[in-house]
Amino acid sequence: MKTQPGFPANKLSLAVTSALLALCGVMPLNAQAADNEEPAVDGDDFPIERIEVMGRLRASASAAMEERREVPTVSDLMGAEQISRTGDSDAASALRRITGLTLKDGKFIYVRGLGERYSSTTLNGANVPSPDPTRNVVPLDMFPASIIDTLSVQKAASADLPAAFGGGHVDIRTKAIPADLLFKVSVGGRLNSNDSQDTLTYPDGLDASGKDDGARAMPSSINETIQAYGGISPIDIVTNSKGTINFSQAQAINRALAEDLNRDMDFNRETTDPGLRGNIAVGNRWDIGEDWVFGFIAAGSYKEQAENYTKKEVELDGDATEIQIENQQDIEGTEYVVQTSGMLNMGIEFTEDHSISTYTTYLRDTSDDVSIAIEETIDTIGEPNALQVFEIDYEERTLISNQIKGEHYFYDWWDIEFNWMYSDARSRRYAPNELVYTYNVVFDDEGNQTTRNLNTQDAPKYVFSNLEDDTENYGWDLSLPLELGDNIITLKGGYQYYERTRESYATRLALDVNLTPTDTNGEILRQAFSAIFSDSNIQNNLLKLELKDASTDTEDYVAAEITEAGFMSIDVDLDDIWRIYAGVRYEDFKRATLPLTPEGEISDEGGRYQLTDYVIAEDGWFPSLSLTWKSTDEQQWRFGASKTVVRPDLREVSPVRFQDPVTGFDFFGNPELKSSDIYNLDLRWEWYPGRTNNFSAGLFYKDVEAPIEPIQRISEAGRQLKFYNAESGEIYGLELEFLQGLGFIGGDDSIWDAFFVAGNLTLSDSEINIKPNGEIDPTNETRAMTGHSPWVANLQLSFDSPDEAHSATLVYNVFGERIAYGGRGGLDDVFEQPFQSLDFTYSYTPVESFAMKLKVKNILGSETEYEQQDSQVYAKDPGTEYTLQFSYTY
């Protein structure tokens, strides 16, 4: 039985983790560099500076393209106004508009067809921890568009960025200090085509605050009993009471603990209320004397909505010649979502040569998912009897990041530039109320339910879990520009440090009922959940109840990792025609991931692993090269070559179980995973004919050594996936992009001058090789990489009226069929089908201070679908979403 139900810090385990790192030769060092680029200033829902020279909103896209044109590596950028134009409400939705990027589960970005583990994410140049234990990177849907200034995606490596990325590096830059007084407020509502369905809820379900009031937390009495008797079972209590408590008394104590659980969990249906969202921003800048300037910007965002959905899940068995349905679930549910964010950025400047800025960001995303499933197994398909599964999944994800960074220019000392940064961030996933209980049900010929009894073979289970990540990173860089005639050479070097600690605990409790429908009081099992587990039934022992610890030996773990790096580079600009960038990065990486037993000791997984198997210590050199040729004033060619690495994430190397929130599949970590070295090549042509138009075409190739893949393993407990290293992998492709005004059709004074189109297309292919072993039997030993789409397309048509009062954008996004997970035992791979997303945004600004915006999302009503051997094995209908928002700016 666990001793951490209240989720206190396990100091002993963290000390052991630190000791293991020390054994590897790790000494706490101080460094982590920041992105020294000045954030681009664009306007959007919270405009910072309104500089409207062109009188066209597409000027924002042009500004982002201009920054992309000047950076030394292959990169893509999206400004705040572009995000506002497409109507995307968060960073994840916006990033899918960038060439070669696709969105997974509405939260995670795949760059060039590589899974989220192949990407890295920073906030204002600093690493931040993820509050989602099932993914390597921060869920990008947590970042509302209202606080974003620019999204930067660097696809080719440079020495000043972490080496641990393969597809791309995403930097989310929050809004900069305004040039003048700023005040803006907006409010809006949301409807969905699925709102005609009734919302599922339960007593004391999620309220508008998005924060648990304590009703869901594990009762303190359970922890007190564990501390006193080492467990909650009657046997534990009798044994450790040393004879002072007999077995009957121990049973009474156990039943009293069950009474302390929140059992008022009957499902209800309510009318779906419209969603609500609002934003506010305020900022200003002041001159202090002749040389000093101080400014700040504060912004907040709030969103709450009930999202009704229907879902289907099917598990197949068999081989390529014959398949059968092992399990099938038809699910209806409601996910009640509350998102709150806050941002406070401040800065001070001295003589334009020195500046210090602080960035504080707070994000909270709360989800309360309530669902009812009708489940049929191979024995009940086609029969009148089935299982009715009631499930509640409640979780709070929070992220708090504090950053300070300085930029200093010493013009009297050879124009040296010195930048430094310190960041401290904390994330948490708090899930105090995951509950599932099941009834055996019978239907008549018309499909009406006739009888039901609580399924006592699959006892109702409560899960209380908590994950906390703490990170610290800081560092500096120094650059020296040298002028040799018309040529400029910039030398740069720096040092970076990143430290991360994690604690993850989970406790599973089961209400084990020994009463059966054939017993005298069997009619009790036909009642609602709260009536079955009423105080009187528990106290009078009518259920023959025992509260059990259903946790496994691999639920908990603690981990720590340290990365320290040094880098140097040279950037040579030859007469503004040739630009050569060359850099090298050295990284020293240490990690320890320790699975814990319920008693809080380090687990050896039944003798399978030794302590050294949980420790990783590796270092390496990572060179990068970029060559740019400006063939004309409007055209340039880029070439890039680099070596990077992808390291397994904490949850991938810890031998603990976790559940994928989308498919519900159980995943298991693998301490035997090793890092994947990646060799990258890029070639891109860019053409900028005019201030707003641009075209580009690029080729890329990546050779991946030992890529990490989730693969189904052989198990009698249903579908289980575990992470393994494939033998080899490669991915290559073509990227095309354009932005073109349509004024050429009828001339500059025609109506066509108010329209422009933008789009991109990525065509690519990938291949990995996987060999079977004692745990896995892949059907296809050679196949595409998991999550890779052979093609991705975006198309945008926009209109800006000459008087700037009206603007509209129609955006289309689609990706090609991609592998969700590999098949085994003769069954083909499971493919996620193309999702055709068509969205529309219209804005009306009758006066400068007032605006209205209408958004329609998923106009085509597309569904998320997975198929295996031409059979649908997963489907979810998100519906069509309508949002209306009003804003006022002073």
Q: Tens digit of pLDDT for each residue in 224-268?
A: 998 888 889 999 889 888 878 899 999 999 999 999 999 999 999
Confidence of residue 353 (pLDDT cuts 50, 70, 90): very high
Rg of the chain over all Cα atoms, to the nearest angstrom: 29
Mean pLDDT estimate for the chain:
83
- Note the pLDDT of residue 19: 40
Instruction: Over range 367-377, report the average pLDDT.
Output: 93
Report the SS3 class of residue 757.
strand
Structure tokens at 553: 């030996």
- Note the pLDDT of residue 140: 72
Beta-bridge mates of residue 393: 369, 434
Asked whether residue 881 carries a pLDDT value surpassing 80, the answer given is yes
- Count other C-beta atoms under 10 Å from residue 530's C-beta: 14
Q: Tens digit of pLDDT for each residue in 292-319?
A: 999 998 988 899 999 999 999 888 887 7
Structure tokens at 383: 């029969």
Q: Which of 84-98, 178-192, 221-235, 735-749 has the lowest mean pLDDT?
A: 84-98
Decide which of 81 and 367 is more confident.
367
Confidence of residue 441 (pLDDT cuts 50, 70, 90): very high
The runs of H, that is alpha helices, within 585-660 are 650-653
- Note the pLDDT of residue 773: 76
- Note the pLDDT of residue 145: 74
CA–CA separation, 272 vs 265, rounded Å? 19
Phi, psi angles (nearest 5°) of residue 539: -65, -40
Confidence of residue 581 (pLDDT cuts 50, 70, 90): very high
- Note the pLDDT of residue 579: 93
Confidence of residue 445 (pLDDT cuts 50, 70, 90): confident
Q: Say what the alpha-carbon torsion angle 649, 654, 657, 662 is, to the nearest 10 degrees.
A: 0
Instruction: Decide if 312 contacts 118 (C-beta within 8 A).
Output: no
Confidence of residue 137 (pLDDT cuts 50, 70, 90): low
CATH class of this structure's domain 189-212+267-513+552-889: mainly beta
Closest CA relative to residue 45, chosen from 187, 145, 175 = 145
Q: Tens digit of pLDDT for each residue in 677-711?
A: 999 999 999 998 876 688 999 999 999 998 888 87
Instruction: Decide if 725 contacts 676 (C-beta within 8 A).
Output: yes
- Note the pLDDT of residue 833: 94
Instruction: Over range 197-223, report the average pLDDT.
Output: 85
- Note the pLDDT of residue 134: 62
CA–CA separation, 440 vs 33, rounded Å? 58
CA–CA separation, 798 vs 737, rounded Å? 16
Beta-bridge mates of residue 299: 281, 343
User: From the centroid of its chain, how far is CA 622?
Assistant: 27
Which of the given ranges, 209-223, 310-324, 398-412, 677-691, has the highest pLDDT on average? 398-412
Instruction: Decide if 450 contacts 444 (C-beta within 8 A).
Output: yes
- Note the pLDDT of residue 701: 94
Asked whether residue 38 carries a pLDDT value surpassing 60, the answer given is no
Return the biggest CA–CA distance within the chain.
99
Structure tokens at 310: 């229907």
Phi, psi angles (nearest 5°) of residue 231: 175, 180
Confidence of residue 522 (pLDDT cuts 50, 70, 90): low
Closest CA relative to residue 5, chosen from 260, 369, 338 = 260
Provide the percentage of residues in the chain whose pLDDT is more than 70. Answer: 85
CA–CA separation, 435 vs 454, rounded Å? 14
How do the domains of the chain map onto residue ranges? 189-212+267-513+552-889
- Note the pLDDT of residue 85: 61
CA–CA separation, 352 vs 409, rounded Å? 9
Sequence-ordered list of residues with C-beta below 8 angstroms from that of 209, at least 6 positions apart, any chain: 338
Asked whether residue 20 carries a pLDDT value surpassing 80, the answer given is no
CA–CA separation, 648 vs 651, rounded Å? 8
Which sign does the torsion angle of CA 701, 703, 709, 712 carry?
A: positive
- Note the pLDDT of residue 29: 30
Decide which of 367 and 552 is more confident.
367
Instruction: Decide if 17 contacts 594 (C-beta within 8 A).
Output: yes
Instruction: Over range 750-773, report the average pLDDT.
Output: 87
Confidence of residue 77 (pLDDT cuts 50, 70, 90): confident
Instruction: Decide if 877 contacts 863 (C-beta within 8 A).
Output: yes
Which of the given ranges, 208-212, 277-281, 386-390, has the highest pLDDT on average? 386-390
Sequence-ordered list of residues with C-beta below 8 angstroms from that of 805, at least 6 positions apart, any chain: 844, 845, 846
CA–CA separation, 608 vs 670, rounded Å? 11
Q: Say what the alpha-carbon torsion angle 246, 248, 249, 252 is, to the nearest 10 degrees.
A: 160
